[in-house]
Amino acid sequence: MSRKMLIDGEVSQPNEGEVHYDFDLFVIGAGSGGVRASRFSANFGAKVGICELPFHPISSEVVGGVGGTCVIRGCVPKKILVYGASFGGEIEDARNYGWEVNEKVDFNWKKLLHKKTEEIIRLNGIYKRLLSNAGVKLFEGEGKIVGPNEVEVTQLDGTKLSYSAKHILIATGSRAQRPAIPGQELGISSDEALSLEELPKRAVVLGGGYIAVEFASIWRGMGASVDLFFRKELPLRGFDDEMRAAVARNLEGRGIDLHPQTNLTELIKTEDGIKVITDHGEELIADVVLFATGRAPNTKRLNLEAIGVELDKTGAVKVDEYSRTNIPSIWAVGDVTNRANLTPVALMEGTCFAKTVFGDQPSKPDHRDIPCAVFCIPPLSVVGLSEEQAIEQAKGDILVFTSTFTPMKNTVSGRQEKTIMKLLVDAETDKVIGASMCGPDSPEIVQGIAIALKCGATKAQFDSTVGIHPSAAEEFVTMRSVTRRIAAGSKPKTNL
């Protein structure tokens, strides 16, 4: 069956003697983006093949698994551990609600680890069935591109299979990086952190991003002592500074020791554990050292440079607004392109790819107003612009509305932890251009706020919305007083 392809509104007419390919589409990488793109392409009538490395909880160049980072060694198992860690604080809080809890409450790490592993194995099977039910042919092995329309799959026994494809999609994701310091082999990445055989009593975390603060919260919630080292004055660079400060206060309030503007210079193995040396000359002993120092695109073994696919300086695949590389038959989605490295973004990019190439519906992924969450305890969630971004981008004045309060639950439990909410409004248009919240349930709340921002909601429309009482969420529709007005042309106050 000949197939038309629609790009930028132009239909390319197939030639009478069109070349026969083994597949209309071959996808390398069966993570969130790759699975979504292959399923939706197959639903549009394409013949699709996909390859993925064999399953293992800890990734390497030779193991991976259908479902990818998010399902196997990312969002899903992380959230399970966050749930597990949250019960520590919940049990403490329960006492003032009348629950007579024994002073000593035991936590069984191995039991949670077993349950986590069961769940990711279940999800790995579900993803395989999704592919099978869509008619996608799955190959287990390592894929690489050997020509603009040819892929090679090295199977587990070493045999090589070669297939031609009209379109090739790269969806290989990214992998955690380690800092180049002496003793770095003694540290672990987030992959290993999700599968540790023993729960550490003393943990050191290097990094200021969301992975760092999430694991700091997880281990502290499970009873470990945690030291968090990061280069800036506050963790979570790139997020709203006011929210970053709130997260830092909460981390410290939960008993995590913060070490701002501090880096690690060396790890040394000792009888008592791992000796950690900082650039300030400090020394401490840890059972585990987690490097949460960024991720790099998985492109090294794909043979991309040999066939002329352009990469950026980080090794990410360069694509246009339709996710197409400089070679017309080769495309890329997800973290391997280093655009917005979030699972739902990879899903969006995979969907748009399938619509564009096989659905006659040219679709550009929209990377504006992407909501996201940091699952520290309590969590942070944001959508739209931070205050600093708004100041940089604004053409007119900005109205800032904030609300800081003690959640009702904490008024009884006695936990000294406040929730903070924030709305940023374009003064001229009254349009809400940013929303953020640090506090319990913030991801669940901000997901709904994200729809409003996507629809272009104004502050007046927020104000005219009836709140749900009693809830924290109602604060987003009852912030009547302007906290501050920022004049056009102002500069952000901080660079923390």
Q: For the chain, give the secondary structure using H, E and C.
A: CCCCEEECCEEECCCCCCCCCCEEEEEECCCHHHHHHHHHHHHCCCCEEEEECCECCCCCCCCECCCHHHHHHCHHHHHHHHHHHHHHHHHHHHHHHCCCCCCCCCCCHHHHHHHHHHHHHHHHHHHHHHHHHCCCEEEEEEEEEEECCEEEEEECCCCEEEEEEEEEEECCCEEECCCCCCCHHHCECHHHHCCCCCCCCEEEEECCCHHHHHHHHHHHHCCCEEEEECCCCCCCCCCCHHHHHHHHHHHHHCCCEEECCCCEEEEEEECCEEEEEECCCCEEEECEEEECCCEEECCCCCCHHHHCCCECCCCCECCCCCCECCCCCEEECHHHHCCCCCHHHHHHHHHHHHHHHHCCCCCCCCCCCCCEEECCCCCEEEEECCHHHHHHHCCCCEEEEEEEECCHHHHHHCCCCCEEEEEEEECCCCEEEEEEEECCCHHHHHHHHHHHHHCCCEHHHHHCCCCCCCCCHHHHHCCCCCCEEECCCCCCCCCC
Which residue from 361, 335, 447, 368 is spatially nearest to 40, judged by alpha carbons? 361
Q: Are strands 380-384 and 432-438 parallel, antiparallel or unpaired?
A: antiparallel
Tell the residue number behind the tokens 């999700």, with chain if given: 194
Instruction: Reply yes or no on whether 469 is catalytic.
Output: yes
Q: What is the largest CA-CA distance in the chain?
A: 79
Strand partners, 106: none
Cα separation of 125 and 437, whole Å? 35
Cα separation of 165 and 137, whole Å? 13
Neighbouring residues of 185: CB distance < 8 A, sequence distance ≥ 6 = none
Instruction: Write down the catalytic residue from 167, 280, 367, 469.
Output: 469
Catalytic residues: 469
